[in-house]
Amino acid sequence: MKNNSYLDELESKSIYIIREAYWEYKEKLAILWSMGKDSTTLVHLARKAFFGHLPLPVIHIDTGFKFRQIYEFRSKYAAIWDLDLKIVRNDIALKEEISPVNGGRFACCTQLKTEALKQAILDYHLRALLVAIRRDEHAIRAKERYFSARDKSFKWDYQNQPMELWAEHYKTKSQAGAHFRIHPLLHWREIDIWKYIERERLPVVDLYFSRHKKRYRSIGCQCCCQPVASTANTVEKIIKEIRDTNIAERSGRSQDKEREYMMQKLRSLGYM
Amino acid sequence: MDAGKSTLIGRFLYESGSVADGAIANIEESCRRQGNDFEFAYLLDSLEEERGGQLTIDTTQVFCRDKKGRQWIFIDVPGHRELFRNMLVGSSYADVAVLVVDAERSLREQTKMHSQVLKFLGIRQFIVVINKMDVACYNKKIFLKEKERISGFLRKINIKPACCIPVSAKQGDNLFNNSRRTNWYKGATLIEALAVSCRKPGGNNFRMPVQDIYKLKGKNIIAGRIIAGRIKAGEKVNILPSNKEARVKQIRVFKQSIPAAGFPANVGLILDNSEGLARGMILAKPRLPDVKTRVLAKIFCVYPLKIGERLRFKSATQNVVAHIKRIDTVWGSADFKAMPKIGLLRQADLAEIVIAVEQPVVTERFEDRNSLGRFVLESKEREICAVGIIV
């Protein structure tokens, strides 16, 4: 293992937060796993936090629009890592054939992700979710707390967030019916994630690597993700590329850009 | 407040080349729609309410990397008094403070309060930026007058800033290069001032607050983060506050046993005797921290507090019922002069107090710079109502 005190510090903060979350919520806690690089790193950190035996379920919110490679990755590593995987879908909306074309992106994200998540929280009696968002992804996510409450109707009261100090003291109680989003990766940057993936030899979905001079920097639903021009076909080359680029990580993600404050609106309604 | 903190960080990001392509175009578009001039602050103030109201509501963090590969995290905080809770949140993560004052408006109450709070939180390195020099026509006299005013105040509260820089965040003067418009200024630019920053971790004695206890294959694993020092397998540790001893049989990380570990690792310890061990206890060696039932401390109040009010004292993983026993000195936030005692603490008061805890707690002086030297007080509603340090 390479000695890298900077990564050690990032990891230390994250594992501490994951263990705090488990202490607080026990079986009412789950991890959201999209099979992307960030939430895969989160799953790994949680496995580390609990000495290899994950005591909590891993939830995939399946919109049905994900890439084939993502589904393959899901079944492979759910088995290898012995995950308690729960797949959740908004079947009613899927039956109505909602899609970015039929209903618009805002409604599609809200129905297939946020609403599906609401159902999962009810079905599995959850009070808290570990979510792999990072501050450097989006200026709205940079406003987040490590422990972030969502009220009964999933609303994020971003204008009145509680105090939180030294990544050590958080507000962990809220009114009945509410749930918490816990963000153990908030302080990581995109490049840190890749350096950590390299150090820990973590697997990632093939879509991140260049094919035909293109690769995905951020993956989600097939219909709303665009690849970027890139020749980086190894983790090492990706790290070098990110170091030299000025293009935003989520530049290929449509839901961030459809209109101004779209991400703020989506998130205030309970989007990740 | 309104001195240009967000604009300064936005401009610094822009000059350093840390802004993603397209971000500037998006902001241009957003400003044009609102009929405003270009706002660098929008790189940080992302909420609709912040842009509409031209103020920072909540703290945010941005990463910055210059062409030489030097890296910083900038923490932006709101300046408005009503939002000072959010200012505390952001400031708790900082190593260096950059005080931004407006060249055209004399030293304001918020600047005084922020300086005091930042010092209270243990920040030792201060940089002063006199902003809006463009509005002040890059006038040397105005700069010197403001510099004297703020330095005079900081001297009184024992802060010695590393430097005082005339800046126009809007125009980019003296951030990366010495500006010709202030050719009378020969001191450091902001990037030079920031290059000297550093931070210290917390001491050489081993400290590990017990975070949780997991059962794995019939064994108790004591999970926790090492907040200071190192531990080797085979060594003896003291368990506080009970002061029992135990020997470390194994140090577990992920799926392995390792021979030794140190700050900041999260480990799992298997001890020869872990009976009665629980979250909130502290493992330590060789010099031991203090065990107390009366804690002398300085606190900064987020909400009003009364003597005798039932509170929770939280430090590292310790969480104990407590109340304020005595208020020794109170300094008001406006001028930080000692106030007459009234048995009551108001919002934003700084006070030296004695806290009575219902069970013994483990503390260390704040100067040792680890989690046992600082704490929060929580109200019945589980809201943080004061931030404190052990004196």
Q: Write out chain B residues lying below 8 Å of A161, CB-based.
A: 58, 86, 89
**Which SS3 state, helix, strand or coil, does residue B140 take?**
helix
Number of other CB atoms surrounding residue B35 within 10 Å: 6
**Which SS3 state, helix, strand or coil, does residue A8 take?**
helix
Phi and psi at residue B205, in whole multiples of 5°?
A: -80, 140
The pLDDT assigned to A109 comes to 80
Shortest Cα distance, chain A CAs vs residue B91, angstroms: 9
Stated as kind and residue range, the H or E segment containing B224 is strand B219-225
Q: Do B46 and A49 touch (CB under 8 A)?
A: no
Q: Write out chain B residues lying below 8 Å of A164, CB-based.
A: 89, 384
- Give domain status of residue A112, yes or no: yes
Give the mutation candidate from B47, B66, B216, B281 for the A interface (greatest A CB count, under 10 A).
B47
The pLDDT assigned to A228 comes to 87
Least confident range of A51-65, A134-148, A162-176: A162-176
Least confident range of A13-27, A197-211, B377-391: B377-391
Q: Which two tokens stand for residue A16?
A: 């501490």
Stated as kind and residue range, the H or E segment containing A60 is strand A58-61
Q: Do B85 and A48 touch (CB under 8 A)?
A: no
Shortest Cα distance, chain B CAs vs residue A96, angstroms: 33
Mean pLDDT over residues B190-204, rounded? 71
Give the mutation candidate from B31, B266, B311 for the A interface (greatest A CB count, under 10 A).
B266
Please count the residue pairs, one from chain A and one from chain B, whose beta carbons lie less than 8 angstroms apart.
128
Confidence of residue A1 (pLDDT cuts 50, 70, 90): very low
Q: Which of A135, A158, A166 sits opposite B47 (nearest CB)?
A: A158
The answer to whether residues A122 and A154 belong to one domain is yes
Strand partners, B161: none
Asked whether residue B346 carries a pLDDT value surpassing 70, the answer given is yes
Q: Which of A48, A165, A251 sits opposite B92 (nearest CB)?
A: A165
Q: Write out chain B residues lying below 8 Å of A175, CB-based.
A: none
Q: Do B88 and A165 touch (CB under 8 A)?
A: yes
**CA–CA distance from B283 to each of B12, B206, B277, B279, B355 (Å)?**
44, 8, 10, 11, 23
Asked whether residue B106 carries a pLDDT value surpassing 80, the answer given is no
Same CATH fold assignment for domains B206-285 and B290-390: yes
The pLDDT assigned to A255 comes to 63
The answer to whether residues A176 and A221 belong to one domain is no
Shortest Cα distance, chain A CAs vs residue B26, angstroms: 9
Domains of chain B, residue spans: 5-194, 206-285, 290-390
- Give domain status of residue A35, yes or no: yes
Mean pLDDT over residues B303-311, rounded? 92
Confidence of residue B198 (pLDDT cuts 50, 70, 90): low
B143 touches B131 (CB < 8 A): no
Give me the helices (H) in A50-148, please.
Answer: 68-80, 91-95, 105-109, 116-123
Q: Do A172 and B382 touch (CB under 8 A)?
A: yes
CA-nearest of A83, A2, A3, A1 to A35 is: A83
Calculate the dihedral angle through the C-alpha atoms of B260, B266, B269, B274, rounding to the nearest 10 degrees: 150
Q: Identify the CATH assignment for B5-194 out of 2.60.40.10, 3.40.50.300, 3.10.50.40, 3.60.21.10.
A: 3.40.50.300
CATH class of B206-285: mainly beta
Q: Which of B61, B212, B264 sits opposite A8 (nearest CB)?
A: B264
Query: ∠ CA B165-B84-A162 to the nearest 5 degrees?
Result: 135
Confidence of residue B66 (pLDDT cuts 50, 70, 90): confident
Q: Write out chain A residues lying below 8 Å of B60, CB-based.
A: 135, 139, 142-143
- Give domain status of residue A196, yes or no: no
Q: Do A264 and B48 touch (CB under 8 A)?
A: yes
- Tell me the longest C-alpha to C-alpha distance in chain B: 74
The answer to whether residues A106 and A145 belong to one domain is yes
> Half-sphere exposure of residue A150, counting CA atoms within 13 Å on the CB side?
21
Q: Which two tokens stand for residue A51?
A: 């000495």
How are beta strands A58-61 and A29-32 bridged, if at all? Answer: parallel
Query: What is d(CA B253, CA A204) in angstroms, rounded to the nearest whole number?
Result: 23
The pLDDT assigned to A74 comes to 95
Q: Which two tokens stand for residue A252?
A: 């290929």
Number of domains in chain A: 2
Q: Do B216 and A53 touch (CB under 8 A)?
A: yes
CA-based R_g, chain A, Å: 18
Q: Do B47 and A53 touch (CB under 8 A)?
A: no
Residues in chain A: 272
Q: Write out chain A residues lying below 8 Å of B86, CB-based.
A: 161
pLDDT tens per residue, range A61-80: 888 877 889 999 999 999 99
Q: Write out chain B residues lying below 8 Å of A158, CB-based.
A: 47, 58
Query: ∠ CA A216-B69-A230 to the nearest 5 degrees?
Result: 20
Shortest Cα distance, chain B CAs vs residue A152, angstroms: 18
Contacts of B238 (CB under 8 A, 6+ apart): B244, B245, B283, B284, B285, B288
Mean pLDDT over residues B172-194, rounded? 89
Asked whether residue A3 carries a pLDDT value surpassing 50, the answer given is no
Query: What is d(CA B303, CA A29) in angstroms, rounded to the nearest whole number?
Result: 31
The pLDDT assigned to B138 comes to 94
**Which SS3 state, helix, strand or coil, does residue B102 take?**
strand
Contacts of A263 (CB under 8 A, 6+ apart): A138, A140, A141, A255, A256, A271
Please give the ipTM for the structure prediction. 0.86
Report the CATH number at residue A183: 3.40.50.620
The pLDDT assigned to B199 comes to 56
Q: Write out chain B residues lying below 8 Å of A261, CB-based.
A: 48
Q: Do A48 and B253 touch (CB under 8 A)?
A: yes
The answer to whether residues A22 and A145 belong to one domain is yes
Amino acid at A104: G
Q: Which two tokens stand for residue A236?
A: 């090492």
The answer to whether residues A119 and A223 belong to one domain is no
Query: What is d(CA B58, CA B297) in angstroms, rounded to the nearest whole number?
Result: 28
- Give domain status of residue A197, yes or no: no
The pLDDT assigned to B336 comes to 65
Residue of chain A minimizing CA distance to B26: A260
> Half-sphere exposure of residue A240, counting CA atoms within 13 Å on the CB side?
8
pTM, two decimals, is 0.85
Shortest Cα distance, chain A CAs vs residue B6, angstroms: 13
CATH class of B290-390: mainly beta
Mean pLDDT of chain A: 87
Domain holding A231, by residue range, is 202-256
Give the mutation candidate from A10, A14, A15 for the B interface (greatest B CB count, under 10 A).
A15
pLDDT tens per residue, range B239-287: 999 989 999 999 999 999 999 999 999 999 999 999 899 999 999 999 9
**CA–CA distance from A220 to each of A39, B4, B24 (Å)?**
12, 37, 25
